[in-house]
Amino acid sequence: MSSAAFYLISAIILGGALAMITSRSLVRSVIWMVVSFVGVGALFLLLEAEFIAAVQILVYAGGIVVLFLFVVMLVNLDELQRVEYLHRQWLPAVLLICLLLAELGFMMWAGAGDTVVPLPDQDQLDAVLRSVRGGNVETIGMTLYTDYILPFEVVSVLLLVAMIGAIYLAKERV
Amino acid sequence: MDGVGLNHYLLLSATLFAIGAIGVLVRRNVILVLMSLELMFNAANINLVAVSYFRPDLTGQIFSIFTITVAAAEITVGLGLVIALFRNKEAINVDEFNLLKG
């Protein structure tokens, strides 16, 4: 049952990604990107990471996609039509990436014989992922605000810097 | 989870990463290059959350939150750059941005 869900979600993710990079229309690419991102969110639900799944949907399928659509609307569509579809050296690039994928896949399947990671049982999972009041969100919040408070603050400053930088870069007159 | 182990998740993540890398290298539209970059970030997140499930250990999920934040910051600055470039050069083809070429 669960493995059928995994294969269905994988098909959605990879199909969305492939359709995204092959589509000629940029708006259609953005829509396929939403499909792929929602699939990744569903995969996180399958992996019992409810909070990350919600963040994935909110930040990626919500925020980043809207940002991309804004930029697609800002640059005019006549310009988009004139862009050549593929890079001149697309064939060597695709071959090299296929080689990389073959290497990664070989390593994973060859290593699978020696070190099979056992499936965690539900009690063990609940004890780690839902230790605070039986909820994943509570547990992540508690860990984030106690053990990881310094990285949390640093990353919020990073977000602020990125925001100021983006406003400065996109300003009319600098 | 009957037949699906950690290897399946890692292989799915590697495939998604490869598709994203093909998008970055092959397409000439700078906006699509940035979108493919997001696919590669997503592949990294799948790895983190999958390992966090199979260990089991919460650190992977915490780390993926930081990854998502960094991806959001990166894409904000990237799209700001795209707008600035489009205003100055009227182009979104990656090959036309060659001001720094010697």
Q: Of B13, B60, B11, which Cα lies nearest the Cα of A49?
A: B60
72-91 of A, contacting B, C-beta below 8 A: 72, 74-75, 79-80, 83-87, 90
Given a cut of 80, whether residue B17 has pLDDT beyond it is yes
What's the total number of domains in chain A? 2
- The answer on A80 and A3 residing in a single domain is yes
Mean residue pLDDT of chain A comes to: 86
Q: pLDDT class for A18, splitting at 50, 70, 90? A: very high
CB A169 within 8 A of CB B83: yes
Query: Nearest-CA distance from A10 to chain B in Å?
Result: 7
Residue A100 included in any domain: no
Model confidence over B52-65: pLDDT tens digits?
Answer: 988 888 899 999 99
Residue A94 included in any domain: no
Question: Beta-carbon neighbour count of residue A80 at 10 Å?
Answer: 17
Model confidence over B37-52: pLDDT tens digits?
Answer: 999 999 999 999 999 9
Mutate to test the interface with A, among B4, B33, B51 (most CBs of A within 10 A): B4
- The answer on A76 and A142 residing in a single domain is no
CB B79 within 8 A of CB A67: yes
Contact B72 A116 (CB under 8 A): no
All residues at 6 or more sequence positions from B87 whose CB lies less than 8 Å from its CB, including other chains: none
Q: Which residue, of A26, A51, A84, is where some domain finishes?
A: A84
Contact A87 B27 (CB under 8 A): yes
CA pair distance A111, A34, nearest whole angstrom: 33
Model confidence over A100-148: pLDDT tens digits?
Answer: 999 988 887 776 655 666 777 777 777 777 877 878 899 999 999 999 9
Q: pLDDT class for A80, splitting at 50, 70, 90? A: low
C-alpha angle A131-A134-A140 in degrees, rounded to nearest 5 = 55
Here the ipTM equals: 0.90
**What pLDDT is attached to residue B1?**
45
Q: Does A8 touch chain B (CB under 8 A)?
A: no
Residue A92 included in any domain: no
- The answer on A72 and A14 residing in a single domain is yes
Query: Nearest-CA distance from B44 to chain A in Å?
Result: 11
* Cβ neighbours of A168 in B, within 8 Å: 80
CB B85 within 8 A of CB B29: no
- The answer on A140 and A69 residing in a single domain is no
User: What φ, ψ does residue A49 adopt, rounded to 5°?
Assistant: -115, 80
First CA to last CA across chain A, in angstroms?
57
A1: domain CATH number? 1.20.120.1200
Domain that holds residue A58: 1-84
